[in-house]
Structure 1
Amino acid sequence: MSRLEILKTYKIYIAGQFPRTESGRFYAAKNAAGKQLANMCLSSRKDFRNAVVAARGAFSGWSGRAAFNRSQILYRIGEMLETRRTQFVDELVQQDLTTAQANAEVNLAVDRLVYYAGWCDKYQQVFSAVNPVASSHFNFSVQEPTGVVAIIAPQNSSLLGLVSVMAPVIASGNTCVILASEQKPLCAVTFAEVLNSSDLPGGVVNILTGKIPELAKWFAEHMDVNTVIYCEKDTANKNMFREKAAVNLKRLHFYDQVDWNSEEGQSPYFITDSTEIKTTWHPVENIAGAGGGY
C-alpha cells in the first residue's frame, strides 16, 4: 500500500508564538512542477493588526537595549541558522533550487546576519555627528529607530531576501512585521522557529504568510506603522503606498532593484533607512566670563 504523506502546516509567527491565522484560511505551497509541499496560513487584516500590536509592545524594550546586546542576539540568530542548515537546504531544494544554490543561499544568509551583528554598535559612530554651531552650545545629531517597520519581503527569495531586509531593521532597535514570499514561504516560517529558539524577545520580529494584494493596503494604511519597505516592482502597489503612507507620514522605501545575492545586498545604509535623526542642543557653560572661552 502506498503511504499518504502528512504535509506540515506552517503557522504564522506573532509575539513569539505560533498561532494559526484567525481566519482559519490556508493555501497550498507548491513547487514549479505543481507538487504540494505544505499548507500555509493565509493571513488576514486581523493577523496583521495583531502583529503590529506585538511589534509596538516590544519596541521600547528592544530599542532600549544596549547596541552590543542587539549585536550578540543577531549573531546568535546566525549561529542557530547555521546549526539548522540541513533543514533549510532541504526546503530550498523543495522550492526548486539546486543543492549547490541552496547551500550558497544559507551561507549568505548566515553571513548577512553576522555582518549586521557587527554594525549594531558601530553605525552610530559613522552616521552621527557633533555639529559646529555659532553659539555657546554643543549640537549633537544621532540616529534613532523609527519604531514599527512593515516589510513586504522579496517574493523570489525564500530565505536570503527575508534575512536581508529584516536584519538591518532590527539592528538599530526597530521592530517589524514581515510578509514572507507567497510562492516560496517554507523557509520564512522555519526561520521564525530559529528566531524563537534564539535570544530575540517575542514581538521584535513577526512573520506572516499570505497574499500581497490582500494585505498591502493594510500595510500602507495602518496608523501605528512608522516605516514601510516594499521589495517588488509592481507600479500600482508603489503608487498606492505613496498615496496611503502619506496619511501619517510613514517613511517609505522600495528595494525592487537590489540583488540580494551580491555585495549590494548588504550595507549600513539599509540600517539608516529605518532610522531618523534626533538633534540635541546642550548649552556650554562659559566659565571664563563674557569675553573668555569655554
Structure 2
Amino acid sequence: MSRLEVKKTYKLYINGAFPRSESGRIYEVTDAKGTFIANPALASRKDLRDAVVAARAAQIGWAKATAYNRGQILYRIAEMLEGRADQIANEISATSGVTPKKAHEQLMAAIDRWVWYAGWSDKLAAAFGSTNPVAGPYYNFTIPEAQGVIAVAPKDEFLAFIDSIAPVITSGNSVIALVPGASAVPAMTFAEVLATSDLPHGVINILTGSHDELAPWAASHMDIDGMDISGIDKKKRTALKEAGAENLKRIHHFDDAQTPNRIYAFMEAKTVWHPIGV
C-alpha cells in the first residue's frame, strides 16, 4: 500500500526543547543536484536572546558539576551519537555532497574528537593550574575556571560544528552554536541526541540560520562572555571584535581543530591565597 512519507520538521534547540523560530522564517537546503532536503529554521535576534537566557541559567550548575561527572556525561553523548551514526552520516552525505564513505569517516572523526575533548575534563586543573612560589607564609594556587556563556560560529561542516562546541563545554561553559547552511540538518539530529542525554538543559543551544545575521548580535550581546568565530569570513572578523569590545568579550578563531588551547581560550585563572598553618 502506498503511503505519504512523514517529513521531519526542523526547529531550533533552546533549553532542551525544540521551539520554532520566533520569526517563523525558514530557509531551504538542497543536495548537490538541487533536490530539496529540508527547511531548517532561520533564527532571529529574539531566538538568540532566549538562548542566552537559557545558557546563563544552565552554566552555573554545569560549572559546579565535578569534572569527572562532566566527562561521563560527554562520553555518554558520544555513545548515543554512535548509535545514530548511519542516519547522521547519510545526512552529512546528502547535504555536503561528499560520498557516503567520506561522510561516515567525517562522523567517526567527530565522535573521536568529542571523546578526546571529554577526556580533558578531569585533567584541566593539572594542565592549566599551578602552585605558585610566593615570598611569605602562604599557599598560592592558580585554578582554571569556566568563563561563562560562549557563542560559537563554526563553518558549514558537521565536524567543525563538533570542534566548536566540545572544547567549550568541557570546562564548564555553556554554549550557543550558530549553525549555518546545510550543516543545520545533521546538527539538529545531534540536538535530538542531546535532548535525551544526561546533559542539563541549556548547556548547549543550537540556532540555525545566517552567520551574517546572528554573529553581530552575539558579538554585541552584553551577557555573552566569549565567541569562537572560526567559521566567519576573515574580512568580517574585525567588525565582530569591535562589537564585542564593550563588555571585554573574548573573541577567538582557531586554525587547529584538535588542541587543548580551544578549551583554555575560554577559561579564566583564579588565584587563591591561603595562610600556612590556618
Instruction: Tell me the TM-score range normalised by the shorter chain.
Output: over 0.9
1:234 is matched with 233
1:158-177 Cα distance to aligned partner (Å, 9 max, x none):
x2111111111101000010
1:190 is matched with 189
Judged with a 3 Å threshold, the aligned counterparts in structure 2 of structure 1 residues 225 and 233 are, in CA distance, closer, same or farther, namely closer
2:120 is matched with 119
Counting only pairs closer than 5 Å after superposition, residues 1-294 of structure 1 correspond to structure 2 as 7-95=7-95, 96-155=97-156, 157=157, 159-255=158-254, 257-258=255-256, 265-285=257-277
Contact 2:92 2:186 (C-alpha < 8 Å) held by counterparts: yes
1:79-99 Cα distance to aligned partner (Å, 9 max, x none):
000000010111012111211
Task: For residue 203 of structure 1, report the CA deviation from its aligned partner.
Answer: 0.1
Counterpart CA distance in 1 for 2:180 and 2:110 is: 16
Task: For residue 235 of structure 1, report the CA deviation from its aligned partner.
Answer: 3.2
Contact 1:55 1:148 (C-alpha < 8 Å) held by counterparts: yes
Task: For residue 233 of structure 1, report the CA deviation from its aligned partner.
Answer: 5.0
Task: For residue 236 of structure 1, report the CA deviation from its aligned partner.
Answer: 3.6
Counterpart CA distance in 2 for 1:12 and 1:37 is: 17
Task: For residue 285 of structure 1, report the CA deviation from its aligned partner.
Answer: 3.4
Contact 2:128 2:144 (C-alpha < 8 Å) held by counterparts: yes
Counterpart CA distance in 1 for 2:236 and 2:219 is: 10
Counterpart CA distance in 2 for 1:198 and 1:167 is: 15
Runs of 4+ aligned structure 1 residues displaced above 3 Å come to 2-7
Q: In structure 2, the residue corresponding to 1:285 is in which secondary structure? A: coil
Instruction: Count how many residue pairs are aligned between Structure 1 and Structure 2.
Output: 276
| AA of the residue aligned to 1:224 | D
| TM-score relative to the length of structure 2 | 0.95
Counterpart CA distance in 2 for 1:133 and 1:102 is: 53
Task: For residue 182 of structure 1, report the CA deviation from its aligned partner.
Answer: 1.6
Q: In structure 2, the residue corresponding to 1:209 is in which secondary structure? A: strand
Judged with a 3 Å threshold, the aligned counterparts in structure 2 of structure 1 residues 90 and 177 are, in CA distance, closer, same or farther, namely same
Counterpart CA distance in 2 for 1:6 and 1:236 is: 42
| AA of the residue aligned to 2:86 | T
Task: For residue 5 of structure 1, report the CA deviation from its aligned partner.
Answer: 5.7
Task: For residue 215 of structure 1, report the CA deviation from its aligned partner.
Answer: 1.0
Task: For residue 6 of structure 1, report the CA deviation from its aligned partner.
Answer: 5.5
- Indicate the RMSD between aligned Cα atoms, in angstroms: 1.6
Q: In structure 2, the residue corresponding to 1:21 is in which secondary structure? A: coil
| AA of the residue aligned to 1:206 | N
| AA of the residue aligned to 1:234 | D
Task: For residue 18 of structure 1, report the CA deviation from its aligned partner.
Answer: 0.3
Task: For residue 253 of structure 1, report the CA deviation from its aligned partner.
Answer: 0.5
Counterpart CA distance in 1 for 2:244 and 2:6 is: 42
For structure 2, the residue ranges without an aligned partner over 5 or more in a row are: none
For structure 1, the residue ranges without an aligned partner over 5 or more in a row are: 259-264, 287-294
| TM-score relative to the length of structure 1 | 0.90
Contact 1:16 1:202 (C-alpha < 8 Å) held by counterparts: yes
| AA of the residue aligned to 2:113 | R
**Which is higher, the Rg of structure 1 or of structure 2?**
1
Q: In structure 2, the residue corresponding to 1:183 is in which secondary structure? A: helix
